[in-house]
Amino acid sequence: MANDLVPGDPAPDFSPIAVGAEYGEGTPVRLPDFRGRTVGLYFTRLNDLSHFEP
Write out pLDDT tens, residues 2-47: 678 888 888 788 888 887 788 888 888 888 888 888 887 777 666 6
Residue 21: per-residue pLDDT: 81
Residue 50 confidence (pLDDT) above 50: yes
Domain boundaries, the chain: 17-52
CA–CA dist 21, 32 (Å, integer): 20
Residue 1: per-residue pLDDT: 47
Residue 53 confidence (pLDDT) above 60: no
Residue 34: per-residue pLDDT: 85
